[in-house]
Structure 1
Amino acid sequence: MDGIGDICRKHNCLFLVDTVASLGAAPIFMDQQNIDILYTGSQKALNAPPGTAPISFNERACQKMFNRKTKPVSYLFDMTHLSNYWGCDGKPARLYHHTGPVSGFFALRESLAILAERGLETSWKKHKEVAAYLYRGLEDLGIKLFIPDRDLRLPSVTTIAIPDGYDWRELLMYIMKNHQMEMTGGLGPSIGMVMRIGLMGYNCEKHNADMALHALADALKNCKKSKA
């Protein structure tokens, strides 16, 4: 992320960052990195049930949002309406926007309290150590990491190149059926190129990495490999 926010400031555009799988697992500094809008998901490294999506706007983004001339096509996408619901727009009148998932908010608050007690630096270190452990195990299996540069990898989600000659869908289905474990394929342009392993939050443990490695080794042994 370093430097991208500076470029956005230079060209007078907003910098929005998706930290769904990284907040709590890897260092991210909204102010220092000149991030204007940052959002995440409750169910990943924050370790809360799915259903809530924390989002943050800095002053620069708020000025842009509150001074725009056109309205969104739907109030569902209207952040000014949402900010009023949360009491963030400075207006005394509060309008109805939606019924909030109250139990989800309390669960998220507790998960954040646990993370704060543990310490962000400790969480970052744990995710990095478990990721490194997983990398070594994958390399021992002869599996290539999709991102060659270790410093550019996200510690909470590891992308591996699909082993030559294997059908990635067959590998994933075998692992789900025989090990009750869900790994996923790529997204967008990476579909058919990678498989993804997520170890984050509560699941960020070496014994879970061992389970993933065992499942992969078993799948490689028992799934058909083309001769081409």
Structure 2
Amino acid sequence: MKAKTYKDLSPSPRTIMTPGPVEVDPRVLRAMSFPILGQFDPEFTALMNETMGMLRELFMTDNEWAFPVDGTSRSGIEAVLVGLIEPGDKVLVPVYGRFGHLLTEIAKRCGAEVVTLEKEWGYVFELAELEDAIRQHRPKLVAMVHGETSTGRMQPLEGVGQVCREVDALLVVDAVATIGGIELATDRLLIDAVIGGTQKCLSVPAGMAPITYNKRAEAKLQARKKIERGLLLADGEDDPLLRPIQSNYLDLSQLQDYWSPARLNHHTEATSMLYALREGLRLVLEEGLEARFARHREHEAALVAGLEAMGLRQYGDPSCKMTVVTCIEIPAGIDGESVRAMLLDHFGIEIASSFGPLKGKIWRIGTMGYSCSKRNVLLTLGALEAALLRHGHRLEAGRGLQAAMDSYKI
């Protein structure tokens, strides 16, 4: 039988202006091509330790534990929630977009008694609303999304950690869309656990989920670990409410042992992905966090200036807009998917649609990481203008680009 032949892999070049994934820095791709090391090779374990140190800087924390979970961002979210939620625990989830619903679903799968606080999409919660709900329900854990890519909104976290400490609740934050692009001061904000993502502002391929957690969170993990091993708790009595962590792969206590100096074997580390993450973190820290945050603000401002000059309306409350995602209302009478297809097919530019109640109503344009550049912003504005004109939308040709160039002081 003749062997079947397949074409060489040759993906089309794209300018990716979505809320993730985004374009990967070529230096990260180069790092992924380096030779494989064994997971217990001292050279490789040194890279693991170095990556942990870089993650502490990224998360702005002194936590001992800062490491990646092998898997996409959701693996990190699940690992943290599965590790910290006991069956029967009351968990409060403030929901203001799609990913708040994801946190709710995972918490329910962990056996939690979930209480949700819901806000109309396009808006976020006032601190007083969150304080009242936390004091009223006194949950064991509060799970929140920092930046909702579904709506382009960002939840302010100032003060939330303090009220969680008042009621002895753990505060867990999903920062998948913001880490590396928007400041998240883990220690200052009194956040107990944070989950990040690689495929957004870090410009690393999807496949790892950086996390960090503090001693308050670790204490919960260690208590469950003792139960799992059939040991007694510190007071000499088993706690009947504590149950072992149900997942093996996503067991944070085992992952912690793996990343500890003991290097207790748990899984085979994703070597090339660790190279990618380390290089991505190196580039973030080389640029400097403050400079990086400022770069994202600069290109967001130019994009927004151009879009508004084209007569397009922003979606949602502007006071809580994410600097790395811009949501635009699709003009009346315009087929949003046809415009997106034209951008992709003829310009090689991808922007995102939306889902849920916003499906067919908005476009979402990301300015994240390596994709966040003057070149990409100007190309996207020019292409979108051309596509809108081809679809019969009336606008003043060239005005959007000129507004963006003004923003850049060109």
Task: Calculate the TM-score normalised by the size of structure 2.
Answer: 0.50
Name which of 59, 76, 92 aligns with 2:249: 76
Partners of 2:360 and 2:277 lie apart in 1 by 34
> In the alignment, what sits opposite 1:94?
264
Q: Deviations over 1:115-136 (max 9, x none)?
A: 2122111001110011001110
Q: How does 1:24-103 map to 2 (within 5 A)?
A: 24-68=180-224, 69-87=242-260, 92=262, 94-96=264-266, 98-103=267-272
**In the TM superposition, what is the alpha-carbon distance from 1:224 to its structure 2 partner?**
6.5
Higher Rg:
2
Partners of 1:30 and 1:83 lie apart in 2 by 19
Partners of 1:139 and 1:215 lie apart in 2 by 15
Q: Which runs of 4+ in 1 moved over 6 A?
A: none
Q: Which amino acid aligns with 2:349?
A: M
1:193 aligned to 2:361?
Answer: yes
Q: Is the 8 A contact 1:36 1:60 kept in 2?
A: yes
Q: Which amino acid aligns with 1:9?
A: R
Q: Is the 8 A contact 1:24 1:120 kept in 2?
A: yes
**In the TM superposition, what is the alpha-carbon distance from 1:167 to its structure 2 partner?**
2.7
> In the alignment, what sits opposite 1:177?
345
Name which of 284, 295, 308 aligns with 1:139: 308
Give the percent of matched residue pairs that are identical in Structure 1 and Structure 2. 35
Q: Deviations over 1:58-116 (max 9, x none)?
A: 1111112222321233213321122122127xxx47132x2221111122112212221
Going from structure 1 to structure 2, the CA distance change for 1:148 and 1:94 (only over 3 Å counts) comes to: same
Name which of 389, 401, 404 aligns with 1:221: 389
Q: Deviations over 1:1-58 (max 9, x none)?
A: 2122223323433222222221121111001111111111222221223322111111
CA-based RMSD of the aligned residues comes to: 2.1
Q: Which amino acid aligns with 1:25?
A: G
> In the alignment, what sits opposite 2:85?
none
Partners of 1:211 and 1:128 lie apart in 2 by 18
Q: Which amino acid aligns with 2:368?
A: M
5+ unaligned residues in a row in structure 1: which ranges?
Answer: none
Q: Deviations over 1:164-218 (max 9, x none)?
A: 2223222222221121111112244433332211112122112211111122212
Return the structure number with greater relative CO, CA threshold 8 A, min gap 6.
2
Larger CA deviation: 185-194 vs 46-55: 185-194
Partners of 1:45 and 1:220 lie apart in 2 by 28
> In the alignment, what sits opposite 1:23?
179
Partners of 2:355 and 2:175 lie apart in 1 by 16
Query: How many residues are paired up?
Result: 220
Q: Is the 8 A contact 1:21 1:157 kept in 2?
A: no
5+ unaligned residues in a row in structure 2: which ranges?
Answer: 1-156, 225-241, 394-410
Partners of 2:291 and 2:366 lie apart in 1 by 19
Q: Which amino acid aligns with 2:158?
A: D
Q: When you count strand as a share of all residues, which structure comes out higher?
A: 2
Q: Which amino acid aligns with 2:303?
A: L
**In the TM superposition, what is the alpha-carbon distance from 1:141 to its structure 2 partner?**
0.9
Going from structure 1 to structure 2, the CA distance change for 1:6 and 1:160 (only over 3 Å counts) comes to: farther
Going from structure 1 to structure 2, the CA distance change for 1:167 and 1:7 (only over 3 Å counts) comes to: farther
**In the TM superposition, what is the alpha-carbon distance from 1:162 to its structure 2 partner?**
2.1
- SS in structure 1 of the partner of residue 349 of structure 2: coil
